[in-house]
Amino acid sequence: MEFILLGFSDRPDLQWILFGIFLFLYLTTLMCNSVIILLTKADVALHTPMYFFLSNFSFLEICYVTATIPRMLMDLCTQKGNISFLACAAQMFFVLTLGSTECLLLTAMAYDRYVAICQPLLYTLIMNHNVCLQLVAVSWISGIPVQIVQIYQIFSLPFCGSNEINDFFCDFPPIFKLACGNTFNNEIEAYFIVVLFVVVPFFLIIVSYGKIISSILKIASGRGRVKAFSTCSSHLIVVVLFYGTASITYLHQKADPCKGIGKLLSLFYTILIPTLNPIIYTLRNKDINSSLRKLLLLI
């Protein structure tokens, strides 16, 4: 009828310290991403496709951390990790769906930068408002039916024996370990979905940036090359952090299933990266900084 999220029960002496740290990270993520959304809506100079995608990305990060941190904070506060069957399925659905959305949205942002740098004369024609809306809609919606089917099949498996999940949120690898039936078909399906929503978008991003870098290198002016690269450097850093930490987390779990290090990597991937993303965009983006200064002067 329920699972038990072990979380950080192996360190009861650090419960309240961890509670304070994660609460601070959560509030920071909410505040920074909310400021970016506010700036992109309020400043007319930021009403461009790039900042339209950025505002959606910031809203996505808010949703993504909200799917995991509040539950973890409650478990740290009560020192109980009981989670119902339905709540575990719901949390897994939101985490996987929002993760799929992030991969697709990062791909759409890479395509936007490709058109801006490689086809600047056609940029306003190609990246018109309808195209931007369609790209964002596909990013948000396409993962929903796929994840509904996957979650239904995972939680239709028979569970017996231990009901303890050695993690701080519900994810499919630890759930598979608790199933007493044959999970081979479910695992194949899960990895196929990973290829569809993670590997393929990452390949498209690599292709886009390959063409972007090739076009930048052809610019004769050194200042022109720096200016062109600065328009996509923040997005490139976010892509490297997101896919890099996700890959390290997955490979570490396969190669060396050390439970403590695995949780640390999961924390970095699911919590710290969404906190860093708005800071990266703010620090490296002159338009955002200029708009933020205008807002502060008005306040």
Would you kindly state where each structural domain of the chain is located, as residue ranges?
A: 2-298
Higher model confidence: residue 163 or residue 243? Answer: 163
**CB neighbour burial string for 237-267, b if at least 16 within 10 angstroms, e if fewer:** ebbebbbebbeebeebbeeeeeeeebbebbb
Alpha-helix residue ranges (DSSP H) falling in 195-221: 200-217
| pLDDT at residue 288 tops 70 | yes
What is the distance between the alpha carbons of residues 22 and 169, in angstroms, rounded to a whole number?
Answer: 14
pLDDT at position 294 is 82
Higher model confidence: residue 224 or residue 43? Answer: 43
Give the tokens for residue 40: 């992109």
Top CATH class, 2-298:
mainly alpha
Give the tokens for residue 202: 């990452």
What is the distance between the alpha carbons of residues 252 and 246, in angstroms, rounded to a whole number?
Answer: 10
pLDDT category of residue 253 using cuts at 50, 70 and 90:
low
pLDDT at position 275 is 86
pLDDT at position 131 is 96
Mean pLDDT of 238-257: 68
pLDDT at position 250 is 59
pLDDT at position 152 is 94
**CB neighbour burial string for 152-168, b if at least 16 within 10 angstroms, e if fewer:** eebbeeeeeeeeebbbb
Please answer whether residues 253 and 262 qualify as being in contact, where contact means their C-beta atoms are separated by less than 8 angstroms. yes
CA 11 to chain centre: 27
Distances (CA, A) of 74 to 68, 125, 194: 10, 49, 30
